[in-house]
């Protein structure tokens, strides 16, 4: 059994994709220093985390049964230090946290949370929901997360509420075994988040020399508006989850829209920064009072207000021309991909045909 297990539990949109990919790229190099990243035959720990938190996730839960226990078995066969990392673990309930910690006994458990200021998390989380077929407007989303009793607010704070996540994951651990890694503000030196994460898990950054180019970048204002409208149309077409993941989330969003240039970045509405500062202060007070280990600058959790003369762009009122440009970029990418596929019965062109037929029928 590994002597020490670091559970990196998120939160989503805090550089977790980069961290996980760098751990995977340097898996063998880290093992030479007795640090294990036991992903097994899969590319990451998503299925193990999904098995623990038991979310439907577009029909993928059924394919994840037993994955958490398999991960634990790999850790039991390991020695030294093991690192578990996936952001959906942030949403685990108290019972699921207890299951995770108990299953890893008698190893010494440490919990690591990467945390970013709420002003950056709000637009990032809304865009992430769009990639999972949601259609709620940005304005309604922002208003609802400020009302704790709404369903949207509960699901948001379940994974993005720094204190809520830490309270669930740290209740069985002493403060020195709970680590908050703050995400640097824009302009920080390249790799600063990785260096902070390494300090939290006791790894020398030199042990993992291979850098990662994999990211989970946000899309722009017009691209977000286009995707929300597309989700409405696709719902009418009754597109299944697997097709949506392949055609929309991966091809259109990750490979095309997020990779495009000259995007106008989505930010928090200007009138919400007072609220964001109150949230940040409550996080700072809890973290300092709890005595947990902070890696990085705790003031990175404070939102940075935009310049007073900066024009805020509302995705709910995006310029039609910009939305049309985003839609055309998406259409070009879809046509190029369909043209590259030479087997219409099994590949993308068949899926495109099926979706187009459904839309025509409606």
CA distance 164 to 180: 13
Rounded-to-integer distance, Cα 348 and Cα 335, Å: 10
Q: Which long-range contacts (CB under 8 A, 24 or more apart) does 268-273 make?
A: 268/119, 268/120, 268/122, 268/123, 268/142, 268/303, 269/139, 269/142, 269/312, 269/314, 270/306, 270/312, 272/119, 272/122, 272/142, 272/146, 273/119, 273/303, 273/305
CATH number for the domain whose boundaries are 4-118+158-213+272-301? 3.40.50
- Position 355 pLDDT exceeds 70: no
pLDDT computed for residue 338 by the predictor: 86
What predicted TM-score, i.e. pTM, was given to this entire model?
A: 0.92
pLDDT digits (tens, 9 = 90+) for 112-145: 999 999 999 999 999 999 999 999 999 999 999 9
**Res. 337 pLDDT band, cuts 50 70 90:** confident
Q: Which residues pair with 178 in a beta bridge?
A: 111
Quick one: DSSP state of residue 341?
-
Chain centroid to CA 249: how far?
13
| Structure confidence at residue 148 (pLDDT) | 80
| Residue 356 predicted with pLDDT over 80 | no
In this predicted structure, the answer to whether residue 354 has a pLDDT above a threshold of 70 is no
Q: How much is the mean pLDDT over the chain?
A: 93
At residue 110, the 3 state secondary structure works out as strand
Is the pLDDT score of 344 beyond 60? no
Residue 361 pLDDT > 60: no
Task: Tell the burial category of 346 from Cβ atoms under 10 Å away from its Cβ (0-12, 13-18, 19+).
Answer: exposed
> What would the mean pLDDT of 26-54 be, rounded to a whole number?
97
Q: How many CA atoms lie within 13 A of 168 on its CB side?
A: 23
Stretch 243-260: mean pLDDT: 92
Q: What is the pLDDT of residues 203-246, one digit of tens each?
A: 999 999 999 987 777 899 999 999 999 999 998 888 889 999 99
pLDDT band at 341 (very low <50, low <70, confident <90, very high): confident
Write down the H helix ranges in the chain.
16-25, 27-31, 46-53, 67-76, 94-103, 118-130, 138-145, 151-160, 162-170, 192-201, 221-237, 241-244, 273-290, 320-340, 348-361
pLDDT of residue 358: 58
CA–CA separation, 127 and 153 (whole Å):
15
**With the CA atoms of 316, 317, 320 and 325 taken in that order, what torsion angle do they form, in degrees rounded to the nearest 10?**
-50
Nearest by Cα to 252 from 86, 121, 133, 126? 133
pLDDT confidence of residue 214 = 73
Task: Give the residue extent of every domain in the chain.
Answer: 4-118+158-213+272-301, 221-264+319-361
């Amino acid at each position: 059994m590994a002597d020490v297990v670091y559970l990196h539990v998120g939160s989503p949109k805090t550089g977790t994709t980069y961290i996980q990919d760098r751990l995977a790229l340097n898996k063998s190099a880290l093992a030479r220093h007795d640090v294990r990243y036991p992903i097994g035959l899969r590319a990451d720990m998503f299925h193990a985390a999904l098995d623990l938190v038991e979310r439907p996730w577009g029909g993928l839960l059924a394919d994840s049964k037993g994955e958490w226990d398999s991960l634990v078995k790999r850790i039991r066969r390991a020695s030294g230090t093991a690192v578990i990392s996936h952001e959906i673990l942030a949403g685990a309930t108290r019972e699921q946290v207890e299951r995770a910690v108990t299953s890893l006994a008698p190893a010494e458990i440490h919990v690591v949370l990467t945390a970013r200021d709420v002003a950056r998390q709000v637009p990032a989380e809304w865009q992430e929901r769009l990639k999972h077929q949601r259609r709620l407007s940005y304005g309604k989303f922002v208003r609802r997360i400020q009302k704790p009793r709404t369903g949207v607010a509960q699901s948001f704070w379940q994974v993005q509420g720094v204190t809520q996540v830490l309270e669930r994951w740290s209740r069985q651990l002493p403060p020195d075994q709970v680590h908050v890694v703050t995400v640097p503000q824009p302009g920080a030196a390249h790799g600063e988040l990785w260096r902070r994460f390494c300090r939290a898990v006791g790894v020398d950054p030199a042990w993992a020399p291979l850098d990662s180019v994999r990211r989970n970048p946000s899309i722009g204002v017009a691209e977000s508006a286009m995707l929300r409208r597309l989700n409405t149309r696709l719902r009418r077409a009754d597109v299944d989850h697997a097709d949506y993941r392949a055609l929309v989330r991966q091809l259109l969003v990750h490979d095309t829209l997020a990779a495009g240039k000259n995007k106008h970045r989505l930010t928090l509405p200007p009138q919400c920064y007072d609220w964001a500062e109150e949230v940040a202060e409550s996080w700072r007070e809890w973290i300092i009072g709890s005595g947990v280990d902070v890696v990085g600058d705790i003031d990175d959790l404070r939102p940075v207000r935009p310049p007073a003369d900066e024009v805020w762009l509302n995705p709910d009122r995006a310029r039609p021309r910009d939305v049309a440009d985003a839609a055309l970029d998406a259409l070009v990418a879809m046509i190029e991909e369909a043209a590259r596929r030479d087997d219409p019965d099994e590949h993308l062109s068949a899926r495109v045909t099926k979706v187009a037929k459904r839309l025509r029928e409606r």
